[in-house]
Structure 1
Amino acid sequence: MSLPTSASLDRRRFLSLSGAALGAAALSGCAASVDDGSASGGGKKTLTVMCEKEDFDIKAAQKALGVNIRLLKSDPTKLNAMLASKTPPDVVRGLGATDAPYFAARKLMTDLDPYFAKSEALKPSDLDPVNDLWRYDGGKQGAGPRYGMAKDFSQDQMFWYRTDLFEAAKLDLPSETEPLSRDEWLDLGKRLVKRRLGKVKVYGMNATGLGYFTQIMGATASAGGSLFAEDLATVDFSSPEALKALKWYLDYTKADIGPSVTNPNPDGWDWPTYQAGRMAMATDGYWFGGAIAGDPKVAEVSRLAPAPQFGGNRVSPCFGATGFWMPRDAQNKDEAWKFFEWFFGGEPAQGRAAAGWGIPTLKSLRSKMPQEQPYQKQAFKVQEQELTHFSVLPFTPYAQIAALDGVISKVLPGAVRSGTSAGKVADELNKQMNDLLSQGKETLG
């Protein structure tokens, strides 16, 4: 079963779906295998998993685990309601980079350390450090108990580009070792865009991978600053570093050279656009190679580049670390852990690694990363070099990422249309986001 390509599929959701690559034919018939709760179950326990049906082969999971699986479509509103009523799913898909602090701070997650300590399939010594994004010690991310695990990861400010579009524009290809400056990158986007009758026909770039907030957070870090205060309770878009990042994104949006909050990509996400030769550069990490592998002609002209930077403080963060966690009030924790061991350490994990859907989060699976094709060799080489600049940017426990992105989506369009200065945009973002963060802090007491 191939991944869906409808316009409704956005990039954030696609990251959750990229685990669908279990090799080639492992997903046959998965839609029909979903247990909607109506089956008698034959005496087996039912494991409730909130994710997308493309995340894994449900029939294979049921066979391997000896349980029935009831799949609930990912829905943040429904999840919050189920958590509040203490009737949560047994397993939940999430983004470790942004979800873990929020849910762990509210004591809604199960401490998985006792399970990891006894596991033969998922040994702590085999876990890549990116899994620390799923740790929270009550005050900061990256330490304390493990509350989840990432299925794979990428450094989400790296970008893929099409050599054919660069050659058509008579432009040099980006370096494989030295990152572009953000100004150089923006200039390339302006040179690569193609318009017809005033409308963009080929995007020069997309700089909005995984949303605005995290991208501005990463850009601020590369400028030597931090968007969050040290206690993670406030943001400051007015600092010199954050203002530099914000001004860059305003310039990108005004230039209309790629998808933005004022002019979204009608395809819904990058792959259909990039595949059709209508996007020259796509800010998608190593995981995008899994999609590229499905089209040999596109693969031939695709290359991966380091994350562009603002200055000498080179950072290359992960904004996803997509994986699963177990709610504190889950009813079938032992069965849920067996699912963890199968999904993260068994056949699905090996299939994802071999297909190039992100960097494996078990160090023992690194050798399976594909290097057969020229583009795979190039991407592997660039990715290996980039890992030395991997950065963890702590996220606040006081608000969910969707709420912060929502503020940006509300403020930026009007500001761009009216020509509002970056300083005034920063003031408005500070006001609205800090109100949200203050409310979240009060809720936690």
Structure 2
Amino acid sequence: MSHDNELDKKTIKAAEQALDIKINFIVSDDTKLKALLAAKNPPDLVRGQGGLETPYLAARDLMTDLDPYFAKSKVLTSSDLDPANDVWRFDGTKQGSGPRYGMCKDYAQDQMLWYRTDLFDAAKVDHLSETEPTSYDELLDVGKRLVKRRLGKVKVYGLSAAEMGNFVQLAGMTASAGGSLFAEDLASVDFSSPEALKALNWMIDYTKADIGPNIVNPNPDGYDWPTYQANRMAIARNGYWFGGQFAAEPKLAAVSRFVPAPQFGGKRVSPCFSGTGYWIPKNAKNKDTAWKFFEWYFAGSVAQERATTGYGIPALKSLREKMPQKTAPQKQAFKVQQQEFPYYATIPFTPYVQVTSLEAVINQTLPGLIKSGATPGKVADKLNSLMNEQISKGKRVVG
């Protein structure tokens, strides 16, 4: 079960020929997956986002522990796995340690920034540093200086800061301030801590300023790339994968720069939220065959080719040298990414409720609270109440 734009017919045919197997493809569908898992007749391989889904699925005993397979593999060795693969680990209480339940096909440090030098120059704004992270306060100020309006409506966004959802962005920002949204046992959230309040206050100020896609005024394009491509976005908060889009846009690539993730200053972190890849359900009927596909897809020729596209950082450290470095923009992005690796961090998520449910609370609650002029403290109290109620119900289900 996967997305057809990620596992296309050409790749499926190549896998069938290389492994002498027959692959039956199912387009990703959460409702169908839940039904198949409940019936104990799941697909043998499922596309997922390790950073957001592993704790929830592992806590419900739905995933196969892949440690025995990794231990025997000659091509997927633990020593070669990029640290970002740890988003697919869960020890029963904490994400990032314990058994491996899946693997990234590639990944990005998702709070890094891409910006357009042509729009900066037109607004007479200094370029962002490629070696030192921009502070969040400075980033908000820069975004306000870059935004362009006409007849009261935004025509050019100064800054996009909510890509992938507000909850994950707030979790990363809170970590940058030196704290955590979740309690140590992952059984509650606390937006009232000094670190979380700092992040929440920044997101509220960003939303009120209306300088980029936000929870009150979302991007009609649906995501950053079409807007950035159309000269209507000066800064996009996206990881390394965003640069893969520039292969067909050399003029846009020439005016684009990749820079470190912004920080509050408490602790420099640069997380991966998604870590998209694959996992094998516990009740899968063809686990050994699924593992053969794992080895082929993650370490074989298709993985090596994928590493050259720039659409993500390879999941194996041995493939990093294949990341594109032919053009000046590619060299710039590669250099900045190399400098960012030491600040990678796994941001743990709760096993008791899906992140989409917590994001839904923000989507349903925050717009009204912001419009009413509620203080950040009152916003934090409301989010704590609603989210912790959901988490508590989920904890009772898991036991």
Both structures adopt the same fold (TM-score exceeding 0.5): yes
CA distance in 2, matches of 1:147, 1:294: 35
Q: Are 1:357 and 2:308 matched, yes or no?
A: no
* 1:167 aligned to which of 98, 118, 121: 121
- Counterpart in the other structure of 1:338: 292
Q: Are 1:324 and 2:298 matched, yes or no?
A: no
Q: For structure 2, which runs of at least 5 residues remain unmatched after alignment?
A: none
Structure 1 residue 423 displacement after superposition: 1.2
Q: Are 1:376 and 2:376 matched, yes or no?
A: no
- Counterpart in the other structure of 1:51: 2
Q: Are 1:144 and 2:98 matched, yes or no?
A: yes
Q: What's the TM-score, normalizing by structure 1?
A: 0.87
Q: Are 1:300 and 2:254 matched, yes or no?
A: yes
Given that residues 112 and 148 in structure 1 are in contact (C-alpha distance below 8 angstroms), is that contact kept between their aligned partners in structure 2? yes
Given that residues 161 and 281 in structure 1 are in contact (C-alpha distance below 8 angstroms), is that contact kept between their aligned partners in structure 2? yes
Counting aligned pairs with the same residue, the percent is 66
DSSP-derived class of the 1:149 partner: strand
- The one-letter amino acid of 1:55's match is E
Q: Are 1:186 and 2:172 matched, yes or no?
A: no
- Counterpart in the other structure of 1:104: 58
CA distance in 2, matches of 1:429, 1:294: 42
DSSP-derived class of the 2:365 partner: helix
CA RMSD of aligned residues (A): 1.1
Residues 229-308 of structure 1 aligned to structure 2 (within 5 Å): 229-308=183-262
- The one-letter amino acid of 2:91's match is D
CA distance in 2, matches of 1:193, 1:65: 52
Number of corresponding residues: 396
Cα offsets for 1:362-400 (capped at 9, x unmatched): 111011011111111111111111111111111111111
Given that residues 188 and 391 in structure 2 are in contact (C-alpha distance below 8 angstroms), is that contact kept between their aligned partners in structure 1? yes
CA distance in 2, matches of 1:65, 1:262: 49
Given that residues 157 and 209 in structure 1 are in contact (C-alpha distance below 8 angstroms), is that contact kept between their aligned partners in structure 2? no
Cα offsets for 1:290-320 (capped at 9, x unmatched): 1122211111111101111112411111111
DSSP-derived class of the 1:120 partner: coil
Structure 1 residue 218 displacement after superposition: 0.7
CA distance in 1, matches of 2:271, 2:345: 5
Structure 1 residue 167 displacement after superposition: 0.6
CA distance in 2, matches of 1:70, 1:201: 45
Q: Are 1:204 and 2:158 matched, yes or no?
A: yes
CA distance in 1, matches of 2:195, 2:96: 24
Q: What's the TM-score, normalizing by structure 2?
A: 0.97
Given that residues 163 and 223 in structure 2 are in contact (C-alpha distance below 8 angstroms), is that contact kept between their aligned partners in structure 1? no
- The one-letter amino acid of 1:52's match is H
Q: Quickly say closer, same or farther: Cα 1:312–1:137, change in 2 above 3 A.
A: closer
CA distance in 1, matches of 2:172, 2:312: 19
CA distance in 2, matches of 1:77, 1:231: 29
DSSP-derived class of the 2:103 partner: strand
Q: Are 1:116 and 2:70 matched, yes or no?
A: yes
* 2:367 aligned to which of 404, 413, 416: 413
DSSP-derived class of the 1:209 partner: coil
Structure 1 residue 329 displacement after superposition: 0.5
DSSP-derived class of the 1:68 partner: coil
